[in-house]
Amino acid sequence: MTREALKDVILEIIAGIDEDADASTLEPDKPLRDQLDLDSMDFLDIVMELRKRYKLQIPEADYPQLATLESCVNYLEPRLANV
Amino acid sequence: MGEITNDQRIVITGVGLAAPNADNLPDYRRKLLAGESGIREIDLRYMGTCPAGVCQFPETKHRKKKENKRGTRAGCLGVYAAHEALFDAGIDFSEYDRSRTGVYIGLTEHGTVETENEVYNISQYGYNVDYWTHHHNPRTVLNNPAGEITMSLGITGPHYAVGAACAAGNAALIQGAQMLRLGEVDFALCGGVSESVGSFGIFASFKAQGALASHSDPTKACRPFDRDRNGIVISEGVCIYTLERLDAARKRRARIYGEIVGYAMNSDARDFVLPYGPRQAECMRLALQRAQLAPAEIDIINTHATGTKQGDEEECKAVRELFRDCPNTYVNNTKSIIGHAMGAAGVLELAGNLPAFEDGLVHPTINLDNLDEECRLPNIVANKPVELPHVDTILNNSFGMVGINSVVIVRKYKGD
C-alpha cells in the first residue's frame, strides 16, 4: 500500500469513528488526539479496525508509534507493504 | 403518608420520553387517546420477524452521533429523555446544584444487547477474542444508561441503576422520591429505559416460554384482557421524570404534573416467572394505606397486564379483590398500544395517564374485542376513551419476573 493510500485508510477509519472530524486542517506531524476529538477508547477503535481489515496485530508497546498521521503511515508502511 | 411537610412531599415537574408511537408527552397522549399503536414488525437475528415497538426520536438532538456510537442504545434513549425532561421542567441547573442531583434509572436487564452483538461479531472472526470490543465493559455495566446521562449533563451527584425486572421503572421512581425525602439529593432525574428490542435472546426466551405474542397484524398483537391474547409484545422505550420536593418546586413556580402520594413494593417469593395476584393485591393495599386513600378514591388504575394468559388473570383477580365496590374507578392498559417497554414500562405508562388530571380522559385499552370473562372488571376502558367528571388519582401497577411487584399512586396537585 502506498503512503498516500495508508493515509487515506487512517482518515477513513477516523471518519468512521467521528464523521464530524475535520481532517482538512490536520497537521501530519502533530498528535492526532491534540487535533481531533479523539480519546484513548477512540484510539483503540483505530487499532481494532486495522486488526479487522488487515489482520494486523499491533502490540501495546507500539501504540506510541501511532500518535500522529505521519507516524501511523511510517509504522504501517512496512507492515502493509503487500496489501 | 399523612400530614407531612412540604419538604417531604414529592412532585413530578417534568417528563421526557420516547415511546414506540411518540417522542414527547403531548404527542404520546394524543396517540394513546386515539389508540394509535406504535407496534410494527421487525426482523431479528436468528428469529425472523416479530411484532415489536421501536422508538423514532431525534437521536442527535442532545448528543453527537459519535457519542451515541460510543454508548448504548439505552444510553442514547436515556440521554434524550433526560434532556427533554429538564427542558419540560424548565430546569437549567441554576435552581439546583449538579452535585446534589441524583440519577436513578430502572432497568429490566442491561448488557444483553451488547453481549449478543459481540458474540456475533467474533463469530465473524472464528471466535477469536482479539476481536472482542474494548467498549464491552463500559457499555454493559449496569449503571451505563444512568452514567451516560450524568456525562451528558455534567451531573456529579449519585447515579445508579435499579434492577427490578419489569417493575424497574416504578422502582427507580420510588428510589428518587426516597432519596429526596432522605435529603440525599435536592433534585432527581428518575425513570426507566429499555433497549430490549435489540436482543434476539429476550424474544427467543419469551417464545420458548410460550409468552411471545404473534398476530398477522402487528398493531393487534398486544391484546391484554382479550380472549385471543397470546403473549407479550416487546418494545424499547424510555421515560424520565424530574422529581422535586414540593416546597422547592413551589418556590420556583414549577408546573406540577402530580404528587407521588403513595407507593409500595413487595415480592411474591414463589416462582421465577408466574405472577401471583394475592401478593399484587397486598402491594396495592399497602400503597393505598400509605397514600391514606380508600380504593374508591382511585379514579384510574393503569394495569400492568402484558397480554399473557395467566398474568392478566392474576392482576384482574387482585384488582377485583380490592376494587369490587368502586363504581367510579376505571381501568386501562397502555401496553395494548405501545407494547411492553420492560424497564420503562411502569413510568412510560404512568406518563401516558398523567394528562388525565387536566383533560379528564381515561385512555383506552385497544384490541379488546372479546373480553375474557376471567378478566372481567366493572370499568375496563375498551377501545375508546372515557371522559370522567374529574380525575384526581392514578394508581399505576408494574410487576416483574422473579416475583417483584410495584405500585405508585399519583394525585393531582391542586395547591395547598
C-alpha span between B396 and B404 (Å, rounded): 14
Check CB contact under 8 Å for B65 and A41.
Answer: no
ipTM metric: 0.94
In chain A, residues with a C-beta closer than 8 Å to the C-beta of B70 are: 41
B95-105, pLDDT tens digit by residue? 999 999 999 99
- B91 lies in the same domain as B231: yes
What DSSP state is assigned to residue A81? T
Nearest CA in chain B to A40: B134
State whether B269 and B316 are in the same domain.
yes
> Would you state the pLDDT for residue B53?
98
**Active site residues per annotation of B:** 166, 304, 340
For position B1, what pLDDT does the model report?
46
**Nearest-CB residue to A17 (from B66, B134, B138):** B66
Is the predicted pLDDT of residue B2 greater than 70, yes or no?
Answer: no
Q: Which of B270, B261, B273 is nearest to B166 (CA)?
A: B273
CB contact under 8 Å between A52 and B70, yes or no, is no
**B225: pLDDT strictly greater than 80:** yes
Q: CB neighbours of A34 closer than 8 A, spacing ≥ 6?
A: none
The verdict on B238 and B150 lying in the same domain is: yes
The domain spanning residue B231 has which CATH number? Answer: 3.40.47.10
pTM for this model (two decimals) = 0.97
Task: Choose the final residue of a domain: B192, B220, B251.
Answer: B251
Q: Is residue B287 part of a domain?
A: yes
User: Is B158 inside a domain boundary?
Assistant: yes
B244 and B276 share one domain: no
Residue A41 with chain B: CB contacts under 8 Å: 70, 134-135, 138
Contacts of B66 in chain A (CB under 8 A): 17-20, 37
B251, B271, B303 - which closes a domain: B251
Question: Which tens digit of pLDDT belongs to each residue from B306-321?
Answer: 999 999 999 999 999 9
Show which residues on chain A lie within 8 Å of chain B, measured between beta carbons. Answer: 17-20, 37, 41, 44-45, 48, 51-52, 57
Separation CA B73–CA B161 (nearest Å): 15
Q: Do A51 and B131 touch (CB under 8 A)?
A: yes
Number of H helices, E strands in chain A: 4, 0
Q: Which residue's C-alpha cell is 412531599?
A: B9
The backbone torsions φ and ψ at residue B303, rounded to the nearest 5 degrees and listed phi first, read -80, 160
Structure confidence at residue B3 (pLDDT): 76
- The domain containing residue B404 runs over which residues? 260-411
C-alpha cell at B262: 403513595
Alpha-carbon distance of B58 to B51, in angstroms, equals 23
pLDDT digits (tens, 9 = 90+) for B331-369: 999 999 999 999 999 999 999 999 999 999 999 999 999
Residue A75 domain boundaries: 3-79
Q: Number of folded domains in chain A?
A: 1
Structural domain contains residue B3: no
Q: Does residue B242 share a domain with residue B163? A: yes
Tell me if B388 is assigned to some domain.
yes
CA distance B387 to B371: 21
Decide if pLDDT at A22 tops 60: yes
The predicted structure's pLDDT at residue A10: 97
Does one domain contain both B278 and B243?
no
Residue B205 makes CB contacts below 8 A (sequence gap 6+) with none
Instruction: Kindly state the average pLDDT of the residues B200-222.
Output: 97
With contact defined as beta carbons under 8 Å apart, do A39 and A19 qualify?
A: no
pLDDT digits (tens, 9 = 90+) for B319-332: 999 999 999 999 99
Looking at A30-39, B103-112, B249-258, which range is the least confident one? A30-39
Task: Please identify, among B203, B233, B251, the residue that sits at the C-terminal boundary of a domain.
Answer: B251
B200 and B317, same domain (yes or no): no
List the grid coordinates of B371: 373480553
Burial of B294 (0-12, 13-18, 19+ CB in 10 A): exposed
Q: Does residue B1 fall inside a structural domain?
A: no
Query: Could you write out the DSSP letters of every residue in B259-296?
Result: EEEEEEEEE--S-SS---HHHHHHHHHHHHHHHT--GG
Count of domains in chain B? 2
CATH number at residue A8: 1.10.1200.10
pLDDT in tens, B9-55: 999 999 999 999 999 999 999 999 999 999 999 999 999 999 999 99
- The angle that helices B168-182 and B345-353 make with each other, rounded to 10 degrees, is 80
Facing residue for A51 by CB, picked from B70, B130, B135: B130
Q: What is the mean pLDDT of residues B114-128?
A: 98
Same domain membership, residue B342 and residue B323 = yes
How many other C-beta atoms lie within 10 A of the C-beta of residue B270?
12
